[in-house]
Amino acid sequence: MSPADSIQYGQVKASYFWDDGSGRNGDTGLPASGEPMQKGLFASPSWPLGTEGYVEYNGQRAGFFIGDRGPGHPAENCDVLLDLDGKTFAELTGETFDQDALAVSGGNGHIDVEYHITEWGDGNGNEGAPHAMGDEDNRCEEAVSEPPAQEEDGAQNGTATGTGQQGRTAEAGQQETRPEIAVNQDPGIELAAGETPIATGALTLALLPALIAAVLFTRRRFPVEHPAFGGRSVGRHRKPAPAPAGVLRRHRSRTGE
């Protein structure tokens, strides 16, 4: 069970009892519901018999059902509004329950507990704020309050999960800005669009190796000078210069011309 299962929550002062019909140590007889005395059987001065829930004390939790009426006079003026069975009281306080004396060790007879009602019973009694026996007109309204855990859950749902109006607005704003953030995260696009000096320098550095390679290739393919042609250029777009006269005479003497 969780606080979300509660249909009523509050804080009350509680005592303990153990009525097994033996008449020992203030035993007033068997519980009013007809159920045998047992662990988990609590008494309320006003809640319907059969009501179920659980109590919390110092981080510990114990389930219960309402099976008897009580406390009596201590419930007046909204003082003590719940009776725990002796065994549960001992476990919550770290003490022991004496089955013979029907008493809890330690001498502490009252503790402040948080209660959660998860289902109202169909027996005699009144739902809602508790009251002293026979005093329905004076209900102890201060014994009922909003569960703190439910308030925390609501705050978390509104901000973390986006179930509240504020959460939905924040989520919608995030969705609208996501495409813009994704574009701006691309450094290449951001630099090109800005035409910053950094982009220009980066482009120059990237093209410099290609320019150097082109110059070297041109120098190899088209030599600037050659001794056979009088030191003139023989580039692709130039005609070779006429050979010197001495060269032509030697060529003709060999061919017989």
Q: Indicate the Cα dihedral angle 111, 114, 120, 121, nearest 10°.
A: -20
Is the dihedral angle over the CA atoms 91, 94, 98, 104 positive or is it negative?
negative
State pLDDT tens for residues 81-138.
999 999 999 999 999 999 999 999 999 999 999 999 999 999 999 999 999 999 999 9
CB atoms within 10 A of CB 158: 16
In the chain, the amino acid numbered 253 is S
Helix axes 187-194, 165-184, angle to 10 degrees: 70
Domains assigned to the chain: 3-145 (2.40.40.10), 222-257 (no CATH)
Distance CA 172, CA 167 (A): 9
Q: Are 96 and 105 in contact (CB under 8 A)?
A: yes
Q: Are 63 and 91 in contact (CB under 8 A)?
A: no
Model pLDDT, residue 209: 73
pLDDT above 60 for 168: no
